[in-house]
Amino acid sequence: MTATEKAKFWLAQEIDPETRQEIENLLKNDPAGLEEAFYKDLEFGTGGLRGIMGVGSNRMNKYTVGMATQGLANYLHTAFPGQEIKVAIAYDSRNNSKFFAEAAARVFAGNGIRVHIFPALRPTPELSYAIRQLACQSGIVITASHNPKKYNGYKAYWSDGAQLTPPHDQHVINEVQKIASFAQIKTATTDELITYIDPDFDQQYIAAIAGLVLDKESIARASDIAIAYSSIHGTGITLVPPALQKIGFTNIHVVAEQAEPDGNFPTVVYPNPEEAEALTLGLQLAKKIDADLLLATDPDADRVGVAVKNAGNEWMLLNGNQMAALMAYYILKTRKQQGTLKPNQYMVKTIVTTELIDRMCAAYQIPCYNTLTGFKYIATVIRELENGHEFIGGGEESYGFMTSAIVRDKDAVAACALIAEMAAGSKNSGGLFGLLQEMYLQFGVWREDMQSITLEGKAGQEEISKMMQEFRANPPQTLGGAPVVKIMDYQALTAFDLENNTRTPLDFPVSNVLQFITASGYKVSARPSGTEPKIKFYFSVNAKAGHIDEIPATQTHLQRIIKQIKEDLNLPSS
């Protein structure tokens, strides 16, 4: 159907007066807006829904949320025949999140499914934890993570607390696609099957995080380190400060201007701790109180941004690769010192995350498994290795980390606790910056960067597709002055060795990702985002430094190489 035909199809159904009026206005006065709102159905992908809020088949609204929930409910009845089915629901601080969560709860209940819903906004990782603790078969969280304020989303989880993975993801997608009209959405008229999760559940989750502390003595010695924290108007305010207090920290300062949950995110352009601008107020507070550490979490508190003081006592932001590598290094080093590092333990990371983690795991003689981008793939490895193996950490470059398997998604609450522990342990040896220098001297200096190009709407999606087609048809021959010797195509599931002119299969799920690897060990990855209207390019280069004084010059050299690689690729502006 065309956008106009879809809009008229909506008008032919039973919809509320406000939605009807908005659709009629689009039809009469805004053909461009009509096209964007209805040119396609908001896709229920392998991670759920994410889109701009508003009327239309390509928007997040109570009807698209209702259809998604009905499809998930239908599959749950198929997957668990004859069983009492339970789901858990959480939501973040975004506009309409509570409304969408309650609407979904009523649809589940209308399908005879018992609902455990948090009584107020809570972090995504607590939802993952709750699914397993409450013995639910599934769960959802209403969030668009760190997207701009006009977005919202719907993430679906399975009984192991991880986001949907094959074959369940495709089965749910198929069921959602079968929903042909709003009349098929069953909605409860009573709250008989809807139960609010006891507020004491927070303490159970916090206690579980406290049980993950590796070095309690270091926290006891430095319990008064000054920690500045911002929840960036999101859910982290509910659990991060209490978790830090629970493990022993006594000097926590919250950024007051960003402490109140607010879906308009009034103090930031984007509520994303990956963006330096989002940490502006946090840095102001950190400088004011002469903090040892700044932590900032995104709206659903699954990602954490970090700032530390360098050797010159100047504040610097750590990127996601640096933080993931530092956390891995601390875990490996501490466990080795304590004698608790065992051969059956392992870490997991994504293919676009720094290979410094692979190098460190090899040195400590434990496996490091690589997956596609997305914590559902990391959770898949955990599930496959649950018998006889122990997951001790893993993450990705986009500020997400898992410190244990108690949660099967990225967890900024647990990550904040570990980072604070690391800061306490390194208090007298240069803090986290000193720990970073120590890691670089031992395993090489690594420099990573990411360029994200936003191309919204139908035309943007077509442009992203053309870019990937061009890279496949005409791959770069040199990058940063070094010849490209290998091309990894995760869509064709083939590794091309250009030096030997050989091709070998890749044992991964199909994904639209390309990687170019040079003779110097530089790596460039191109990946259209699955949740945002963006294409992302990841750059990774490394070199050895013989002495701590050589690290700054080495980093400058590596940054020049990344700049040259970007010029070689001739990328459009962001």
User: Residues 5-21: pLDDT tens digits?
Assistant: 999 999 999 999 999 99
Residues 78 and 172 in one domain: yes
Answer whether residue 427 is part of any domain.
Answer: yes
Q: Encoding tokens for residue 478? A: 């040199």
Q: How far apart are CA 157 and CA 66, in angstroms?
A: 16
Contacts of 29 (CB under 8 A, 6+ apart): none
| 77 contact partners, CB below 8 Å, separation of at least 6 | 85, 111
**Do 258 and 317 share a domain, yes or no?**
yes
CA-based R_g, the chain, Å: 24
For residue 14, tell me if it sits in a domain: no
pTM equals 0.93
What is the span of the domain harbouring residue 143? 40-196
User: Residue 262 in contact with residue 253, Cβ under 8 Å?
Assistant: no
53 with 188, same domain?
A: yes
pLDDT digits (tens, 9 = 90+) for 222-245: 999 999 999 999 999 999 999 999
**Together in a domain, 232 and 182:** no
> What are the respective helix, strand and coil percentages of the chain, to the nearest 5?
40, 20, 35
Per-residue model confidence as pLDDT tens digits over 310-362: 999 999 999 999 999 999 999 999 999 999 999 999 999 999 999 999 999 99
DSSP string computed for 441-469: HHH-EEEEEEEEEE--HHHHHHHHHHHHH
**What integer pLDDT is reported at residue 461 of this predicted model?**
86
The verdict on 535 and 521 lying in the same domain is yes
How many other C-beta atoms can be found within 10 angstroms of the C-beta atom of residue 302?
Answer: 33
- Count of domains in the chain? 3
Q: Decide if 164 contacts 376 (C-beta within 8 A).
A: yes
Boundary residue ending a domain (426, 443, 460): 443
| pLDDT tens digit sequence for 433-446 | 999 999 999 999 99
For the chain, give the number of residues: 574
Let me know: does 68 contact 169? Beta carbons within 8 Å. no
Q: Is the pLDDT of residue 260 over 90?
A: yes
Q: Which of 413, 443, 473 is the last residue of a domain?
A: 443
Instruction: State how beta strands 494-497 and 400-402 pair.
Output: unpaired
Note the pLDDT tens digit of each residue in 394-431.
Answer: 999 989 999 999 999 999 999 999 999 999 999 999 99
The predicted structure's pLDDT at residue 531:
66
DSSP H/E element including 539: strand 534-543
Do 438 and 455 fall into the same domain? no
| 187 lies in some domain | yes
Mean pLDDT of 447-461: 88
Residues 529 and 559 in one domain: yes
DSSP 549: G
* 345 part of a folded domain: no
- 1 confidence band (pLDDT: 50, 70, 90): confident
Tokens 């050299």 belong to 557
pLDDT tier, 270 (very low <50, low <70, confident <90, very high otherwise): very high
Q: Looking at the structure, do residues 422 and 496 belong to the same domain, yes or no?
A: no
Q: Which of 147, 176, 196 is the last residue of a domain?
A: 196
According to DSSP, the residues that pair with 194 across neighbouring strands are 115
| Tokens 């022993």 found at | 248
Quick one: 129 and 208 in the same domain?
no
Q: What is the DSSP string of 230-281?
A: E-TTSGGGGTHHHHHHHTT---EEE-GGGTS--TT-TT-SS--TTSGGGGHH
Mean of pLDDT values over 525-551? 90
Whether residues 182 and 235 share a domain: the answer is no
Task: Name 210's Cβ contacts closer than 8 Å, sequence gap at least 6.
Answer: 243, 246, 247, 417
Q: Evaluate whether residue 342 is within a structural domain.
A: no
Catalytic residues: 145
User: In whole angstroms, what is the distance from residue 234 CA to residue 219 CA?
Assistant: 27
- Residue 398 to residue 408: CA distance in whole angstroms: 16
Element counts in the chain: helices (H) and strands (E):
18, 23
* Per-residue b or e along 386-422, where b marks 16 or more CB atoms closer than 10 Å to that residue's CB: eeebebbbbbbbbbbbbbbbbbbbbbbbbbbbbbbbb
Tokens standing for 230?
A: 């911002």
Are 518 and 484 in contact by the 8 Å Cβ rule? The answer is yes
Q: Please name which of 486, 498, 489, 484 lies closest in space to residue 469, comparing C-alpha atoms.
A: 489
The confidence score (pLDDT) of residue 404 equals 95
pLDDT at residue 530 above 80?
no
Contact 55, 19 (CB under 8 A): yes
Q: Domain for residue 91, yes or no?
A: yes
Residue 382 domain flag: no
178 and 46 assigned to the same domain = yes
Vertex 49: Cα angle to 532 and 191 (nearest 5): 145
Tokens (6 digits) for 49 = 């829904």
Q: How far apart are CA 35 and CA 57, in angstroms?
A: 10
69 with 133, same domain: the answer is: yes
Taking the CA atoms of 514, 365, 357 and 47 in sequence, report the sign of the dihedral they define: positive
User: Going along 304-420, which residue ranges are E strands?
Assistant: 304-309, 315-318, 345-350, 368-371, 390-396, 400-402
DSSP 436: H
- 3-state SS class at 168: helix
Sequence-ordered alpha helix ranges (H) in 1-96: 3-11, 17-29, 31-38, 62-79
Residues of the chain above pLDDT 70, percent = 99
pLDDT at res. 315:
97
Residue 350 lies in a domain: no
Domain CATH code at residue 103: 3.40.120.10
φ/ψ of 60, rounded to 5, equals -80, 115
List, for residues 140-193, the tens digit of each pLDDT value.
999 999 889 999 999 999 999 999 988 898 899 899 989 989 999 999 999 999
CATH code of the domain containing 545: 3.30.310
Identity of the amino acid at 320: G
Lowest mean pLDDT among 145-149, 255-259, 304-308: 145-149
